[in-house]
Chain A
């Protein structure tokens, strides 16, 4: 009896699974059809709106007033915001006038709060042109959005409108959303660096190594003597491997000749990430004093360090090349040396 129940269960479960899978796929099929239809309709309407905008640019008198529907407003915003990124002067004013005429900013700001995340990010990204204090306030409020994409879009839009953003206030928001590893955040730090130099120095003492790394990277874009001094100190003494590696990398990028000793010392760092960055930096600043250390590092236990050290030697001129060619006889290293020399030749 129990066996019969089990058999019936297996039969029913199999049929249920198959039917559920088929029903799911049919639903997905319908969803795809709907998405395609919407995309097609949007593309067509977008073309019409583009025509309207071009017509209005050629003949401003032809510009008629009147609010568009919600979908058309978003499409128009997409069309015009793309155009706005590449123009200035009179044409920029004309485009902004078109937006002012057809777009309900209150509705957009409402959408910036309530739409789905992907749409919120798009709206924030496309509001960079607005001079309205209300829009700026809405974008500032969007910096507290739960979605990282929206926060980034709002920050970039605010920057584009010429509004200042306090890195000190922004970083905790980024940190709480686990966004510090995002490359877009690194770019944001770089863009905010000129107005936030003192904040960047503060971040060098932050307990979170990811924040320190971002600050180091941003400081290296506009190197000053105090900044380089702090980077040298971080390269030597910071406990976090990522921070030491970032500091060494930044010193190399900044071509800081005074850091030659620090970089050579970092070639013996216990962490391979730091040794690899030190090898790259030694090549970048062309420090002949690092030659003997680089030769040692070509035999490093870590492949990356070996490669970077060999590449650095190849950048140190005739002496470095001679050192590399001497190493080519070593059967453990000949492949690496051949590769670096051929890469140099290429």
Chain B
């Protein structure tokens, strides 16, 4: 008698738990898709309202008189083969005043020697104060032929460490954090500083678009022909980057709650970087961490500061072409997001930190913290609940629509925005190829991503020890977070 009762009770509790979890997964899906829809609308509005220069020449004509000096910071680790071409392309950027600060982060190959030979470098003295924490600078090199170039040599310490050294040495009020293998388009800088020109007192940082270079032709550090890759993995990533930048980043910029500026191309006020103590060392997600740190600092010192995203300036980057490389990247990004989220969790939901503390942080919670486990759980749990009859067909179909169909609309919508407003892909057939990729990515690729993010979660929980190792992998092969 008692056993039957217990059995019934356990069964009922099991049903209640199953239904609760099912609803939790469902509500999370609804919230995520509602957020994406909101982002799509905000991005569209922002694109319609922007006052971008139409051509590189008009950008130069409009902004060149008012530009603010910039120091480009390019950390380099083991990039002997490409560093000279990369730096040459940086030196050829269209901008009235800028300097290129290459930080040789203890490369084990001939990176420094290639730079010395390629640019006729010689040791020079450079007056600077050590405001930030980083490994000691061993030597500074300059060139009479290339007065805009300065090369710092220091022991290996990771990207954050190298950038801190670069910020210390930089001589301009703006610093542009990038990777040594970032391919900036020649008019990227005048376009990217537009927010600073319009409102120098209030803007503290701004980011530009990152696009996947796979399939395009690159010559001497310049993208000479925009093309399409032949592998699905690269195509999926092109769609992802378009969605992340043209919709996600633009929408958050529009709302005033930017939580990330890509480490491959972000411009910051140097003074603000000094105030927050620069990049946090031994971190995987230094690009996200610095943004949250700046938001926090501004709120705690009672100051107003804005972070903006400008879609026109483009930095091209090579995306991983193998599943193994991509998996490592996504696990690292997930660890970086979690690390930042928990490090600064004190600001979550607190009104005094403004939109970044409320809307922005809750977005990170939904998409990066609870999102992956709930999504993974959904893939296993929801079909099971439907098969055993706990969920009805309507509920299950709605879940499937949220999981597989809604995303198609958002991804294809981002491609439509790209075509209406940016039109960077020269051939119409590329639209169809990307549309196909945007549909296909929902069936397999997205689930793989969830799996990698769960693995990233697990690595974070286990206190994975390759924080520093990951930072030392080398910037030349480390893809950028969209």
Contact = CB atoms under 8 A, between A and B. Distances in A.
A14 B401 contact: yes
Contact of B127 (A307, A335, A346): A335
Nearest to B409: A17
A271 to B, nearest CB: 13
B408 A7 contact: no
A3 B416 contact: no
Given A3-B395, A7-B395, A32-B431, A22 B408 contact: yes
Contact of B405 (A8, A14, A36, A335): A14
A342 B147 contact: yes
Interface in B102-131: 126-129
B291 to A, nearest CB: 23
A18 B397 CA distance: 15
B52 interface: no
A334 interface: yes
A22 B431 CA distance: 11
A242 B171 CA distance: 28
B62 interface: yes
B408 A331 contact: no
A20 interface: yes
A4 B396 CA distance: 11
Contacts of A33: 428
Contacts of B411: 21
A125 B401 CA distance: 53
Interface in B382-430: 392, 394-395, 397-398, 401-402, 405-406, 408-413, 415-416, 419-420, 423, 428
Contacts of B14: none
B398 A7 contact: yes
Given A11-B401, A15-B405, A28-B416, A183 B147 contact: no
A338 B127 CA distance: 8
Contact of B401 (A10, A303, A346): A10
B351 interface: no
Interface residues on B, range: 35 or more
A166 interface: no
Question: Which applies to chain A's interface (DSSP): helix, strand, loop or mixed?
Answer: helix
A335 B432 CA distance: 53
B406 A25 contact: no
A21 B416 contact: yes
B435 interface: yes
B170 to A, nearest CB: 9
A11 B419 contact: no
A342 B171 CA distance: 11
B136 interface: no
Contacts of B11: none
B379 interface: no
B413 to A, nearest CB: 4
B412 A339 contact: no
A54 interface: no
Given A25-B415, A338-B171, 20 more contacts: A3-B394, A10-B30, A10-B402, A11-B401, A14-B405, A17-B410, A17-B413, A21-B410, A21-B412, A25-B412, A25-B435, A28-B419, A28-B420, A29-B419, A36-B428, A307-B69, A328-B127, A335-B128, A335-B171, A339-B171
